[in-house]
Structure 1
Amino acid sequence: MSFFTPADPAHFDAALQACARPHVLQTRQWAALKAPLWSAQHLVGEQAAVTLLTRRLGRLPLRIHYAAKGPLLPPDLDRWDAALAALEMHARASGALFIKIDPDVLADSPFGQALSQRLQARGWVFSAEQIQFRNTLLSDLIGEEETLLAGMKQKTRYNLRLAARRGVQVQPSADFDRFYELYAETAARDRFLIRPRGYYLAVMQRMQADDLGQLLLATVAGEAVAGLFLLRCGPTAWYFYGASSDRQRQHMPAYLLQWEGMRWARAQGCTLYDWWGAPDQLQEAHPMWGVYRFKEGFGGRFTRWIGAWDYAPRPARYRLYTQIMPRLLALLRATRP
């Protein structure tokens, strides 16, 4: 298989949408948000598509390639062999330190196990740096609403109906500033790092304007107290960002918000709801355990992908970058005056 860059960007869009499960992180719109730090190539092959991001490593004469949630191909080992050979050739020709792929292929499926073995045989290594969540939860959106509700835990159904009875309202919105305020409040409360305000506003404005995303806000007595931002592409919607205030939590706005998010996704023709993130290990001590239980309550099923894999044309240089350099930098930081 050979990849090529189509002259008409619409050709790439069509090839992407022709894939069984196109991923929103492989779209041209998402890649544009990564500029100027990353440059993008949108490549097409036989029943295949991949957006390949490239960046230089500071002032070093080195570059890395990354196919976020790609490449996209049918579950056929011969096709994957051909695609991997083309990507390996591209990495060698460009002088890249390594190329990283991160496809949504089920780890415990026969094909996922075979592909992992094939990657290893070809010299790819399971990456120590998993950029995206390797684990997630998935909810099917096929069927009547009552069927979906019946698949949820009883407490989840009760809470979302309680929110509706107590007057929680959920509406599509373009108030990205208010969402960021809620997101910053959530980050401070739950102690996780977030990017600057401008990054999230750029993502939400661009993806919503291109009909690939939607902000929903939940209000109580006219005050926005929770929000989520969904991305969509092909048959899948992703719960990408979520935020909530400490105010009015007794009215359970987050539960009705998620249900309305699922209903919105169904209205767009989506048949799958990706909850975008789950713990590495299903243990109560894990920091994401509470979030996992919340998502599971909506009928989400735990799913593990094969994860990110790296191919390095010069393995010794790759080992220097991934193993020795971090240790050296840590030593320098520890011993500096």
Structure 2
Amino acid sequence: MSVLADRLVHAEVEVPSGARGGVTALRLDTKIVSGAEWDRVIADFDEVCQEQLHVFASTRWPGVTQEPMLFLLNGEVVGGSLMMVQPLPLRLGNIAVAKWGPMLKDSRRPDAASIHAGMIEALVADYADARGQMLSVLPAASIDPENHDYQRLIARGFKRGSELGFPNRYIVNLRLDDAAQRRSFDQKWRYHLTKSEKAGLTFEHAGPERFGEFEELYTAMTDRKQFVDHSAYDTVSSLMALDDPLQPELFFVRHEGVVVGGGLIFKAGDRAVYLYGATNDQALPLRAGYFLHWNIIRWLRDNTSATWYDLGGTDGFQGLHQFKKGMVGNAGVIRPVPPVANYASHRRAYLVGTAAFAARDAGYKIKRVIDGWRNPKTKSNQTPTKDRAGQ
């Protein structure tokens, strides 16, 4: 993509009172940069995630224009949002989408809420006011009981939009010692973990050169379970080519010298994310999943600065819900991804954009029904491996 000229946006607006009171949006400058520079700059953001990486988004959504926008306060980069400009059919306009954005570089700074509000004001001024597009923002699931980013959007005049079918995200607290972490697990989860530790399993942290082993395991698993994979797995090769800290980490579990399971983890930022897992037929009776995640939790605690480990969702699979809920235990949190928040300065842009989202959502529902017809056993046999990247 071409690098657009830097643009200065002055937006100091008193946001209407929400659950936590009014927040003053700071004046921020904006700058659109190249994809390569974007991925380099956001690597140390607290709120960085794989969906906001240019290398991920350009592979996952090739038909949209990627505009990596940085936000600066007095010349310092304080946040960013990878904006995806989606053209609508019949040249009816465009929708500007921020998925899991905008992101804060430092989520702990005292003025973080004002910076977030300032980023939203800058996006409104550019995409909604100046370009006449509908602006669609999907915040990430919050660690707090209330999603303040979403509340600020609604208070600002954004309208509730599409919702995920199964919005809950299961998030483990990484900042516990071994004894406290084990106590935090549900009793049944601890029981299965103890059984797995007596099964003769070994845990390995592997380098990217062994990604081929994971691919073989993953392909064999999807073929065996015969489920339709709508996830973003085709982006993994590009992610594995990145430098640290953005390159995902690879882990394996062995039994009697044979790899029986593996996992890919995005570990940059304050929230590590479970991307994909794969197992063979031996893994279930050995309880290899419990052993794998227990050791991943310990590795992330000892080798990263992440505070949380996001296990993703469940797609409605009750067994997966029980497994993740037990691992979250009493020290982690289960929080929903909020609905999409939509804003338009012009009525036509809002109506056209809303209609486009409704058509897309209907298409997703039809696709799920067709998948169910093709494989009626999927609901009971499938082991979903995608996290939020697959939504």
Which TM-score tier does this pair reach, normalised by the shorter chain? 0.7 to 0.9
Query: Contact between 2:163 and 2:339, CA under 8 Å: does it hold in 1?
Result: no
What does 1:215-234 correspond to in 2, within 5 Å?
215-234=250-269
Which residue in 2 is equivalent to 1:127?
Answer: 161
Deviation at 1:145, TM superposition (A): 1.6
Q: Which residue of structure 1 lines up, in the alignment, with residue 126 of structure 2? A: 90
> What SS does structure 1 have at the residue aligned with 2:32?
coil
Distance, in Å, in 2 between the alignment partners of 1:252 and 1:229 is 18
Residue 340 of structure 2 corresponds to 308
How far does the alpha carbon of each residue in 1:264-306 deviate from its partner, in whole angstroms, 9 at most, with x for none?
2123222211111156xxxxxxx32211211122234312243
Q: Secondary structure at the match of 1:166?
A: coil
Per-residue CA distance 1:212-259 (angstroms, 9 max, x = gap) = 311212222232222211001123211111222223421111111111
Residues 133-157 of structure 1: per-residue CA shift (max 9 Å, x gap): 7421111111322221221123323
Matched, 1:68 2:95: no
Q: Is the contact between residue 6 and residue 12 of structure 1 (CA under 8 Å) also seen in structure 2?
A: no
Counterpart among 28, 33, 48 of residue 22 in structure 1: 48
Counterpart for residue 270 of structure 2: 235
Q: How much is the aligned-residue C-alpha RMSD, in angstroms?
A: 3.7
**Structure 1 residues 15, 245: closer, same or farther in 2, change over 3 A?**
closer
Give 1:121 deviation, angstroms: 4.2
- Residues 176 and 156 of structure 1: is their aligned pair in 2 closer, same or farther, counting only changes over 3 Å? same
Give distance in 2, aligned partners of 1:327 and 1:305: 20
2:312 to 264, 276, 296: 276
1:150 maps to which of 183, 189, 194 = 183
**Is the alpha carbon distance of 1:136 and 1:321 closer, same or farther for their aligned partners in structure 2, counting shifts above 3 Å?**
same
What is the TM-score with the length of structure 1 in the denominator?
A: 0.77
Q: Which moved more, 1:98-107 or 1:46-55?
A: 98-107
The alpha-carbon deviation at position 87 of structure 1 amounts to 0.9
Which residue does the alignment assign to 2:25? none
Match of 2:296 among 249, 258, 261: 261
Match of 1:335 in 2: none
TM-score, normalised on structure 2? 0.68
Instruction: Give the residue type in structure 2 aligned to 1:302.
Output: I
One-letter code of the match for 1:275?
L
Corresponding residue of 1:56: 87
Residues 20-49 of structure 1: CA distance to partner in whole angstroms, max 9, x if unpaired? 443343344434544643443332223322
Counterpart-to-counterpart distance in 1, 2:159 and 2:268:
29
DSSP-derived class of the 1:263 partner: helix
Give the 3-state SS of the residue equivalent to 2:274 in structure 1: strand
Tell me the distance in 1 between the aligned counterparts of 2:82 and 2:259: 36
Report how far residue 105 of structure 1 moved.
3.5
The answer on 1:320 being equivalent to 2:352 is no
2:199 is the counterpart of 1:162: no
Deviation at 1:159, TM superposition (A): 2.5
Alpha-carbon contact 1:208-1:214 (below 8 Å) kept:
no
Contact 2:141 / 2:335 at 8 angstroms: preserved in 1? no
Query: For the Cα contact (< 8 Å) 2:35–2:54, is it kept in 1?
Result: no
1:108 aligned counterpart, secondary structure? coil
One-letter code aligned to 1:252:
R
Is the contact made by 1:225 and 1:253 (CA closer than 8 Å) also made in structure 2?
yes
Q: Is the 8 A contact 2:60 2:235 kept in 1?
A: no
Alpha-carbon shift at residue 188 of structure 1 (Å): 5.8
Percent pairwise identity: 20
Q: Number of aligned residue pairs: give it.
A: 319
Aligned counterpart, 1:43: 69
Amino acid across the alignment from 1:65: A
2: distance between equivalents of 1:34 and 1:326? 18
Question: Partners of 2:300 and 2:116 in 1: how far apart?
Answer: 31
Q: Secondary structure at the match of 2:31?
A: coil
CA distance in 2, matches of 1:231, 1:325: 28
Query: How far apart, CA to CA, are the structure 2 residues paired with 1:194 and 1:8?
Result: 27
Gaps of 5+ in 2: 1-27, 367-391
246-255 vs 32-41, greater mean Cα deviation: 32-41
Distance 1:157 1:52, change over 3 A: same
CA–CA separation in structure 2 for the residues paired with 1:36 and 1:14: 22
**Aligned position for 1:139:** 172
Q: Go from structure 1 to structure 2 and tell me whether the alpha carbon gap of 1:108 and 1:155 turns closer, same or farther (over 3 Å shift).
A: closer
Distance 1:198 1:309, change over 3 A: closer
